[in-house]
A and B are shown apart, each in its own frame.
Chain A
Amino acid sequence: MNFFQSIGASTLAKMSAVGRAAIMLFGALFALPRLKNVPLTIKQVYVVGVQSLLIIVVSGLFIGMVMALQGYTILVDYGAEGSLGPMVALSLLRELGPVVTALLFAGRAGSALTAEIGLMKATEQLSSLEMMAVDPLRRVVAPRFWAGIVSMPMLALIFSAVGILGGHLVGVDWLGVDAGSYWSIMQSTVDWQQDVINGVIKSLVFALVVTWIAIFKGYDSIPTSEGISKATTQTVVFSSLAVLGLDFVLTALMFGIE
């Protein structure tokens, strides 16, 4: 095919994919919420949230511990090991909490969402819903979407809290930083609005993007085993890249300009 022709064709294909994704998002978000769907959403919170809990807690604990260890060896040279608390807390709340949670979420829950919806499509369950006069956007997509948006900030908060405790474990209990200064300097440095709330906002944005990509990739996948495996990989790759890119933009907006 002509070079320019193929560029045009692939641009058109990408545009139409973005359009389909937007239509799907619109259909899912603005499907009138019905009381019947609340239990469905709770069930999905279990699937995407509770089942990601273990990996989040374990990762948070280890990242907090590693940061305390690394931070201590650097700070102790300057006699500033008292600043270990704020270092661990700020890195977790502002960056690592939302970002690592989003990356783990994309790998654990996002890929599972894509595969599940892709399989529902391949086994004609989505078609069958439509033929039963039940809108799959409302019945299948919307509960998963809301569950993702609710779960990820919760996971990020738990991740940060566990990480700070992990930092305490290594910094205070093991390396002998004074517990009082670990907490008190942290308290005087960390700001609720600036650090905690901004972290939650980041996490909400990541939740929207990762869940959107995961569900759309499943919904739009080619319903064959090859198509689903490709869609699952794309979910993880695309959402990881999107999270890292968006993180830069959000950080610049929130902390870049004083």
Chain B
Amino acid sequence: MNKYKTEIMVGVFVVLTIGAILLLALKVANQSMTSEGDTYTLYAKFDNIGGLKPRSAVKVGGVTVGRVNSITLDQDNFTPVVELSISKKYTGFPETSSVSILTSGLLGEQYVGFQPGFSFDGVADLQDGDYLQDTKSALVLEDLIGQFLFNRGNDDE
């Protein structure tokens, strides 16, 4: 009996560890099977991406529809290119859609805000591999302050 007690307790230990791994994988690190799923890729060029990082969220009206897959620099005109993975669940965004880099809260993390455009005749839906034309860059605090001081200077004269 004593021998079995040892084995049972070691078994409990292993089960607890598996439970911990599952918690970390599914709830904490979001290694879930559903989230990745089938995705399609869109590209967007920004002048400045601010603090955007790979795996940042892509949101439509606050709903996460995808993630930033990678960020590279276009060697031709030296602008950042952001590769977005959008879930196949969300398709049919019109070509006139725009993306901007937004911040959650004052000091929160940055994410890509996706603004679906109007759909009318002659405007096709976005397909895998398309580039989004209408982009707004991240707000950089130093630029804002600089602009503000510059305007103040002009006002004084």
Contact = CB atoms under 8 A, between A and B. Distances in A.
From B20, B104, B108, residue with most partner A Cβ within 10 Å: B20
A188 B29 contact: no
Interface string B98-137: 0000001111110000000000000000000000000000
A190 B20 contact: no
A157 B12 CA distance: 14
Contacts of A184: 64
Contacts of A191: 29, 55
Contact of B29 (A42, A46, A82, A195): A195
A79 B106 contact: yes
7 contacts: A42-B6, A50-B10, A82-B104, A154-B14, A187-B27, A188-B67, A195-B29
B7 A196 contact: no
A196 B106 CA distance: 28
Contacts of B104: 82
B27 A157 contact: no
Contacts of A42: 6-7, 10
A53 interface: yes
B73 interface: no
A45 B10 contact: yes
Interface in A123-157: 151, 154, 157
B27 A196 contact: no
A187 B17 contact: no
Interface residues of A, number: 35
A160 B20 contact: yes
Given A42-B7, A79-B105, A190-B29, 15 more contacts: A45-B13, A46-B10, A49-B13, A53-B13, A78-B105, A79-B107, A80-B108, A160-B20, A161-B20, A161-B24, A191-B55, A192-B30, A192-B31, A195-B29, A196-B29
A50 B6 CA distance: 9
B60 interface: no
B31 A80 contact: no
A133 B24 CA distance: 47
Interface string A153-169: 01001101110110000
Interface in B84-109: 104-109
Contacts of B9: 46, 50
Contacts of B20: 157-158, 160-162
Contact of A46 (B6, B21, B23): B6
Contact of A78 (B12, B64, B106): B106
Contact of A188 (B6, B16, B23, B56): B56
A157 B31 CA distance: 16
A185 B109 contact: yes
A43 B17 contact: no
Contacts of B16: 53, 154, 158
A232 interface: no
Contact of B28 (A46, A151, A162, A164): A164
Given A190-B30, A191-B29, A196 B10 contact: no
A54 to B, nearest CB: 11
B138 interface: no
Contacts of A183: 27
A185 B25 CA distance: 14
B19 interface: yes
A191 B24 CA distance: 10
A157 B9 CA distance: 17
Contacts of A46: 6, 9-10, 13
Contacts of A189: 109
A146 B147 CA distance: 63
A170 interface: no
A183 B26 CA distance: 10
A30 to B, nearest CB: 25
A228 interface: no
